[in-house]
Amino acid sequence: MKINSHYSALPAHYLFHDIDLRVQTYLTQHPGARLLRMGIGDVTRPLPRVIVDAMQRAAEELAHEETFRGYCPENGYEWLRQTIVDHFFLPRGIPFHPDEVFISEGAGSDLGNLSDLFDRENKVAIMDPTYPAYVDANIMAGREITLLPCLKENNFVPDLPAEPVDIIYLCFPNNPTGAVLTRDQLRLWVDYAHRNHSLIIFDAAYEAYISSPDIPHSIYEIEGAREVAIEVHSFSKSAGFTSVRCGYVVVPFETGLQPLWMRRQCTKYNGTAYVSQRAAEATFTPEGQKGIRDNLCYYKETASLILNGLREIGLEVYGGENAPYIWCRAPHGWNSWTFLPSGLYARSRFRPLWRRICPLLRLRQPSIRHRSSPPHPCLPRITSLTRSVSSAASSLSACYHPSSSSIVSDVIRRFSQKIPFSYFSVPKNLHISKKSCTFAADLFL
Ligand SMILES: Cc1ncc(COP(=O)(O)O)c(C=O)c1O
C-alpha cells in the first residue's frame, strides 16, 4: 500500500483542528480557565423554536411504521430542493430546477468533495487568506495552486489571475477578512471565467450577513454565471446549524457538471439526515426566518461592538459590516506567534503595548500578581459593552499564517476583565503566503 503522497504537502493538522488541540492543551495546563473560543466560526445562539419543533416531529415520524423512512435520496428530498429554489433563488429572479440543487451535510464537505470532479492537471486559483479547506482539498489532489493575494491595497478583493487558471475559488462575504464583492466586481470574475473557460466555485456560506443592497447574495445574480459557476451554501452560519449539519450545492445544468456531481454523490454519499432536512425546510417558514434574523442581528451587533472597540483603541480594522469577520492588523509588526495574549503578561517586551492600550480602554493594566484585586471603577461601563461579548464568546481565530497576529482575544478579554487569560494560537507550517500581515477574528460571540 502506498499512501497519497500529496498528503505530505499538507500542514500536519487542519487549521481548526490544530487550534482545538492547542486549546485543549492549554485547558489541561490551566484547569478552570475561562476561554473565549474564537478558533472557528461556530454559532452560540439557540435554534429558533420552529426549527427544533420540526426536528422533533421528524424524529417522531421515525418511530412509527406508517411514517418511518430509510435512506434519503442522495441529492436530498425534492420538497427541500424546491423550497430552496422558491424561497432563496426565485425572489432574486433566479429560476433553477430543483435537480440543480444538491442537499448535503454542510458546505465544508461539499467544498472538499467537489475536487473529485476535476482532473489533477487543472490549475487552481485561491484567495489568500481564505477558508483553508479549498487549499487543503487541492493539495490532497496534487493540483497546482496559485494564491491570489487579498491585501489592504486591493481592499481584500483579489486581482484577476495574471495567467489563465481553470478553477477559481471565491468566498464572499469572506472568511476571514470580511470583504465583500459588489455586482460589478463579481461580473469581472464571471467574464474572466467565460474568456478563459474556467469554473468558479463560489462559497456563499455567509451571504445571510449581507445588508448592503449592492452586494450580491448569489453569483447567479450576475448574468452568464450559470455556465461558469457552482455555488455552495450552508445552513450553519445563516441558521445556526453547525451541529444539525445541512448545506447545499447548486450545479447548474449549463455547467455540464450536474450529471457528474449526481453520479459522484450516488456513489460516495448516502444522503443527508431526514431530521436535518426537515430542520432546513423549517428555516424558510415565516417564524424560522424571523428567528434566524434575530440571531443574525445579535451576531452583527457583536461584530460592530468589536469593530468599534478596536477602532477606538487605534487599531487598523476591516470587515465586520456585511460579514461576521473582523480583520485587524497587528501593531508594531508583531505576529501571531509573538503576540499571544498570555505572552502579553509574561513577556516584558509587550509591556509598552499594554501601557499604550490600557489607558485608551481606561482599564487597569492587568498583572499576574494582582489578578484578584478589586474591580476597577470603570468596570460597570465595560461590563455593559461586554455582556454580549463574554456571555457567549465562541471563537478566536485568528490566524491564517505566521505573519498574522491576534489582538482581538486580548481586547475582548480586557473588555470583559473577568477572564485572566485567554488563549490564542496559530498553526505551524501554514501554506498561505506570507504577504498578508493581518489576522481574523470571527465574531460568533
Ligand atoms: C467560508 C466557509 N465555508 C464553509 C464553511 C463550512 O460550513 P459548514 O458548517 O456548512 O460545513 C465554513 C465554516 O466555517 C466557512 O467559514
From the list 359, 354, 375, the residue with the least C-alpha distance to 418 is: 375
Q: For residues 160 and 189, what is the distance between their CA atoms, to the nearest angstrom?
A: 7
Q: Bridge-partner residues for 318, per DSSP?
A: 327
Closest-CA residue, ligand 1 atom 14, reads 41
Classified as helix, coil or strand, 166 is: coil
C-alpha cell at 259: 450529471
Q: For residues 241 and 398, what is the distance between their CA atoms, to the nearest angstrom?
A: 22
C-alpha cell at 318: 476591516
Q: Are 282 and 51 in contact (CB under 8 A)?
A: yes
Instruction: Give pLDDT, residue 413.
Output: 43
Q: For residues 328 and 176, what is the distance between their CA atoms, to the nearest angstrom?
A: 10
Crossing angle of helices 379-391 and 286-312, rounded to 10°: 140
Output phi, psi for 123, to 5 deg.
Answer: -90, 135
Pocket of ligand 1 contains residue 395 by CB under 6 Å = no
Alpha-carbon distances of 379 from 9, 351, 375, 385, rounded to whole Å: 48, 22, 6, 10
All residues at 6 or more sequence positions from 260 whose CB lies less than 8 Å from its CB, including other chains: 117
Q: Which residue has the cell 503522497?
A: 5
CATH architecture of 49-284: 3-Layer(aba) Sandwich (3.40)
Alpha-carbon distances of 162 from 147, 172, 239, 360, rounded to whole Å: 11, 21, 38, 44
Ligand 1 atom nearest the C-alpha of 206 is 1
Crossing angle of helices 351-361 and 408-416, rounded to 10°: 50
Give burial (CB, 10 Å; 0-12/13-18/19+) of 346: exposed
Output phi, psi for 169, to 5 deg.
Answer: -100, 125
C-alpha cell at 374: 478589586
Cis peptide before 427 (omega within 30 of 0): no
Which DSSP string do the residues of 123-138 spell out, in sequence order?
A: EEEEEESS-THHHHHH
C-alpha cell at 288: 424560522
Q: Which residue has the cell 419543533?
A: 53
Ligand 1 atom nearest the C-alpha of 234 is 10
Closest-CA residue, ligand 1 atom 3, reads 205
Tell how far the Cα of 113 is from the centroid of ligand 1, in angstroms. 13
Ligand 1 atom nearest the C-alpha of 246 is 10
Instruction: Give pLDDT, residue 39.
Output: 57
pLDDT level of residue 83 (50, 70, 90 thresholds): very high
Q: Is the pLDDT of residue 346 over 60?
A: no
| Average pLDDT of the segment spanning 41-57 | 94
pTM: 0.79
Element (DSSP H or E) covering residue 233: strand 229-234
Output phi, psi for 128, to 5 deg.
Answer: -135, 115
pLDDT level of residue 36 (50, 70, 90 thresholds): low
| Average pLDDT of the segment spanning 296-306 | 85
From the list 309, 318, 285, 327, the residue with the least C-alpha distance to 438 is: 327
- Beta-sheet strand order (sheet of 317-319): 317-319, 325-329, 438-442
Tell how far the Cα of 305 is from the centroid of ligand 1, in angstroms. 23
C-alpha cell at 217: 447574495
pLDDT level of residue 211 (50, 70, 90 thresholds): very high
Which DSSP string do the residues of 60-106 spell out, in sequence order?
A: HHTTSTTT---SPPTT--HHHHHHHIIIIIGGGT----GGGEEEES-
Q: What rounded mean pLDDT belongs to the chain? A: 79
Rg (CA), the chain: 22
| Average pLDDT of the segment spanning 426-442 | 30
Ligand 1 atom nearest the C-alpha of 171 is 1
Pocket of ligand 1 contains residue 280 by CB under 6 Å = no
Instruction: Give pLDDT, residue 308.
Output: 82
Closest-CA residue, ligand 1 atom 13, reads 41
352-382 per-position pLDDT tens digit = 544 444 444 333 333 333 333 344 343 333 3
Q: Is the pLDDT of residue 400 over 50?
A: no
163-203 per-position pLDDT tens digit = 999 999 999 999 999 999 999 999 999 999 999 999 999 99
All structural domains of the chain with their residue ranges: 5-46+290-442, 49-284
Output phi, psi for 161, to 5 deg.
Answer: -60, 140
